[in-house]
């Protein structure tokens, strides 16, 4: 073979390899047909799989799926086609909400006029319905949310600086509809060249807590909250902070306290903002999806049939007050920091019957997919941006977490497949010792497709006197694990009866092996998830 022929062959091989790397799908395509891991996505989208009347049908654990209200008090029609800061709808929306307690206010489009824009709104004992094709935008004028004087001010570590975009309160408030609520947090604020997310990102190095507005928050003493089928995008901080209990204080059926059903969270919703900045989940700091117990107690809840892709915890159960009797079922997660409990777990509550309740207890999570392969997290991200199941606390905020079950969970390409940590932030001192009690993991599988790092499992109690457990691992299979991929200490662990493909060990670890066979690992299917909007000139 002549030197020229060799050069041509090298060039040919290079371009063939480049073609497959750039244009042949890395997951699900014929180039990787020989892989045994679960790659690709199901043809049915998550939204279609969770269509009304389909998701949750026949599930005896759940209440009936909610329906849209029929008692329309006022219908407001849009008069603009974009979020015009000079033409706010705050006054007329709030007037309708205030005048329609116990009934419903509906926002609708009028041809190309499909946008509403407002500052702070209060939904007190009323339902807001955002109709299909209609978007309610949060104003980018920081002064409309001003609370302490620091709202929208760079470099201020003040978590209470701003009011919420929407505050829910009273009896059976709700937000429903097939429309969109958009926080616009990746866009520059009025009069400035920086966004809410850039304000938050500037405090990342010191773990500072910016006071950006929460998209939807609930006040103390709220009962019977409903979120149904609404789509949420780009909040300045958290998407939903839930505080709600049954109206009569008694949990007769799950969902009496609150229901979050069929909502879609996608943040960031587009890859490029109006300034040409690249929007990634890592960039959209502190945008938790749904957080029960953030402001006060949250009991007797259902979070079902939702699709959540964001930058922080998809769901974080906050035990800084008390959270109990919660079902999380039939959900699909994309990017995020995990199906989480904590980090606050120190809460106590004395119920009217004189009984003391603590932390987070009696939670059932099942039929969940968590797909880290759904989109890139961001070039400056870390393993902390990619978690599957996470129970977290530390001595600055520790307390009780017990009677928690994770069942029928599929995860893909997570750096931390299962993370049970009593040292969430070891830099924060205190004497509030985490107390992790019964944690059940049943029919759980993690698979690998694109991730180059091997998944890690962490199961750690706090000390020899404050042990975690019992932690039950029943048919838990983590594919592609390395020999150093399991870290455990001060934990009581029970294996079986289903096969688990790893045996934890470490300081203070006691393992009871009750495995009875080598049954099949859980079969996993990952649906196609909603994706951010691409710029018009992108090729892919």
Write out the catalytic residue numbers: 312, 337
Q: What is the Cα 103 distance to its own chain's centre?
A: 29
Task: Give me 82's structure tokens.
Answer: 């974009």
Task: Give me 107's structure tokens.
Answer: 């926002």
Q: How far apart are CA 387 and CA 370, in angstroms?
A: 9
Count of Cβ atoms closer than 10 Å to residue 258 Cβ: 30
What are the DSSP calls for 499-533, one per residue? --S-----TTEEEEE-----PPPPP---EEPP-PB
Radius of gyration of the chain (CA): 24
Q: How far apart are CA 198 and CA 96, in angstroms?
A: 34
- Taking alpha carbons only, the member of 505, 384, 497 closest to residue 440 is 497
Q: Is the peptide bond before 470 cis (omega within 30 degrees of 0)?
A: yes
Q: How far apart are CA 478 and CA 81, in angstroms?
A: 49
Task: Give me 51's structure tokens.
Answer: 């269509």
Residue 369's Cβ-side half-sphere holds a number of Cα atoms within 13 Å equal to 25
C-alpha pair distances (Å), 434 with each of 341, 344, 387: 12, 9, 20
Task: Give me 267's structure tokens.
Answer: 């943040």
Q: Which residue do the tokens 């096969």 mark?
A: 499
Listed in sequence order, the residues at least 6 apart from 97 whose beta carbon sits closer than 8 Å to its beta carbon are: 105, 121, 122, 123, 124, 126, 128
- Taking alpha carbons only, the member of 269, 418, 293 closest to residue 347 is 293
Secondary element (H or E) of residue 472 = strand 468-478
Q: How far apart are CA 332 and CA 529, in angstroms?
A: 8
Task: Give me 304's structure tokens.
Answer: 């079902």
Count of Cβ atoms closer than 10 Å to residue 35 Cβ: 13
Q: What is the Cα 537 distance to its own chain's centre?
A: 30
């Amino acid at each position: 073979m002549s030197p020229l022929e060799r050069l041509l062959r090298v060039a040919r091989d290079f371009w063939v390899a480049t073609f497959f790397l750039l244009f042949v799908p890395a997951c699900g395509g014929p180039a990787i047909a020989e892989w045994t891991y679960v790659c690709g996505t199901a043809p049915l989208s998550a939204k279609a799989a969770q269509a009304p009347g389909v998701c949750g049908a026949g599930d005896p654990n759940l209440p009936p799926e909610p329906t849209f209200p029929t008692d329309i008090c006022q219908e407001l029609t849009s008069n603009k086609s974009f979020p015009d800061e000079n033409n706010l709808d705050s006054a007329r929306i709030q007037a309708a909400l205030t005048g329609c307690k116990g009934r419903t206010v509906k926002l609708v489009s009028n041809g190309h006029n499909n946008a509403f824009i407002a500052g702070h709104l209060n939904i007190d004992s009323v339902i807001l319905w955002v109709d299909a094709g209609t978007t309610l935008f949060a104003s980018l004028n920081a002064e409309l949310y001003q609370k302490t004087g620091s709202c929208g001010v760079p470099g201020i570590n003040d978590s209470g600086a701003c009011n919420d975009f929407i505050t829910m309160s009273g009896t059976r408030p709700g937000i429903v509809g097939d429309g969109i609520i958009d926080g616009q947090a990746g866009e520059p604020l009025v009069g400035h060249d920086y966004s809410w997310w850039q304000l938050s990102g500037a405090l990342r190095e010191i773990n500072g807590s910016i006071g950006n507005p929460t998209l939807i928050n609930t006040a103390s003493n709220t009962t019977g909250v409903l979120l149904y089928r609404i789509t949420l995008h780009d909040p300045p901080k958290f998407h939903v902070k839930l505080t709600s209990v049954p109206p009569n204080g008694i949990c007769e059926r799950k969902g009496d306290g609150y229901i979050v059903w069929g909502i879609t969270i996608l943040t960031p919703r587009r890859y490029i903002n109006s300034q040409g900045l690249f929007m990634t989940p890592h960039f959209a700091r502190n945008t938790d999806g749904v957080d029960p117990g953030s402001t006060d107690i949250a009991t007797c809840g259902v979070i079902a049939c939702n699709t959540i892709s964001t930058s922080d915890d998809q769901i974080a159960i906050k035990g800084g007050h008390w959270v109990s009797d919660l079902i999380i079922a039939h959900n699909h997660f994309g990017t995020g920091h995990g199906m989480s409990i904590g980090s606050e777990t120190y809460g106590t509550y004395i119920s009217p019957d004189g009984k003391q309740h603590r932390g987070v207890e009696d939670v059932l999570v099942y039929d969940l997919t968590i797909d880290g392969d759904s989109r890139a997290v961001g070039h400056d991200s870390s393993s902390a941006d990619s978690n599957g199941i996470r129970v977290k606390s530390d001595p600055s905020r520790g307390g009780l977490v017990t009677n928690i079950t994770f069942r029928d969970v599929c995860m893909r390409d997570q750096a931390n497949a299962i993370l049970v940590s009593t040292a969430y932030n070891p830099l924060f001192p205190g004497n509030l010792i985490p107390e992790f009690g019964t944690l059940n993991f049943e029919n759980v599988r993690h698979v690998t497709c694109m991730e180059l790092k091997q998944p890690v499992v962490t199961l750690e109690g706090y000390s020899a006197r404050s042990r975690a457990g019992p932690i039950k691992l029943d048919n838990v299979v983590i594919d592609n694990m390395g020999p150093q991929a399991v870290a455990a200490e001060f934990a009581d662990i029970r294996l079986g009866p289903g096969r688990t493909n790893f045996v934890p060990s470490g300081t203070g670890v006691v393992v009871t092996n009750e495995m009875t066979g080598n049954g099949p690992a859980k079969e996993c299917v990952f649906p196609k998830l909603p994706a951010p909007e691409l710029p018009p000139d992108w090729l892919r």
